[in-house]
Amino acid sequence: MWAVDDNNVLIRSWLVSGSKYDNEIPGTYKVYSRSDVSTSWNGESVQYKMVRWLKSDRAPIGFHSIPLHIEDKTPYQDEAALGERLSDGCQRQATLDADFTWEFAQIGTVVVVI
């Protein structure tokens, strides 16, 4: 993932785990909603610092920390697996990267999917 400023200058880049289902549709979007804490569409996981940018038929898609199983609070993956397509739709990030995204991507921030 890349974060660029208003002059299209790269600020930083980092690995995420995107969707294994190809439901991140290429195009230009805007951040429309944010939550400190959210749950997955099926109620089985919790994720922190959710920044939503795409509405889908099943659930919103956004950037967030690596989700935790609600039952035992274990992570769905470890940070070493970032870069692999492991999610059901959202972009999973390391905690420090989710912190950065939370500060950087406010309501209205442009998101470009290529």
Distance CA 110, CA 49 (A): 17
| Structural class in CATH, domain 17-113 | mainly beta
Give Rg (Cα) of the chain.
Answer: 13
Distance CA 109, CA 6 (A): 10
pLDDT single digits (tens) 18-57: 999 878 889 999 999 999 999 998 899 999 999 999 998 8
Q: How many CA atoms lie within 13 A of 48 on its CB side?
A: 13
Q: Confidence class of residue 70 from pLDDT cuts 50, 70 and 90?
A: very high
Q: What is the pTM of this model?
A: 0.92
Residue 104's pLDDT is 98
Distance CA 100, CA 106 (A): 11
pLDDT higher than threshold 90 for residue 75: yes
Q: Specify the higher pLDDT residue, 58 or 99.
A: 99
Q: State in Å, rounded, how far the first CA of the chain is from the last one.
A: 11
